[in-house]
Amino acid sequence: GQNIDQPTEMTATEGAIVQINCTYQTSGFNGLFWYQQHAGEAPTFLSYNVLDGLEEKGRFSSFLSRSKGYSYLLLKELQMKDSASYLCAVPDSNYQLIWGAGTKLIIKP
């Protein structure tokens, strides 16, 4: 079966760096997504990793290790607007996305 684990909540300081981890178990592997969701809003796409390694996109980077079933989202130079939930998702064997519960990131001044 499919299983995704993320920390429920994290707190970080404005201007700092934070790493949000995601571990997953799948019967196959077709990539891993990260989405951002501000309170009361819809999820928006951040990244999609299918190969091992780090992909950088501005202040946000996403890392994948397929052998370890592990990914992380790295946010640099944190801004107050980065306060949101960060959702990890992987496709299942039917090619449908299975979503984690999300990590609520709180940014303090």
Partner 1 sequence: EAGVVQSPRYKIIEKKQPVAFWCNPISGHNTLYWYLQNLGQGPELLIRYENEEAVDDSQLPKDRFSAERLKGVDSTLKIQPAELGDSAVYLCASSFGEYAYNEQFFGPGTRLTVL
- Residues in contact with partner 1 by CB under 8 A are 4, 8, 30-31, 33, 41-45, 48, 50, 87, 89, 91-92, 94-97, 99-102, 104
Instruction: Name the residue nearer to partner 1 (CB basis): 49 or 78.
Output: 49
Residue among 28, 30, 10 nearest 20 (CA): 10
Instruction: Name the residue nearer to partner 1 (CB basis): 74 or 97.
Output: 97
Determine phi and psi for 81, rounding to 5 degrees.
-70, -10
Dihedral of alpha carbons 97, 55, 23, 73, sign? negative
Instruction: Name the residue nearer to partner 1 (CB basis): 11 or 13.
Output: 11
How many other β-carbons are positioned within 10 Å of the β-carbon of residue 75? 21
**Structure token digits, residue 101:** 């519960």
CB of 47 to partner 1, least distance (A): 10
CB of 68 to partner 1, least distance (A): 20
**Structure token digits, residue 60:** 């946000």
CB of 71 to partner 1, least distance (A): 15
CB of 10 to partner 1, least distance (A): 14
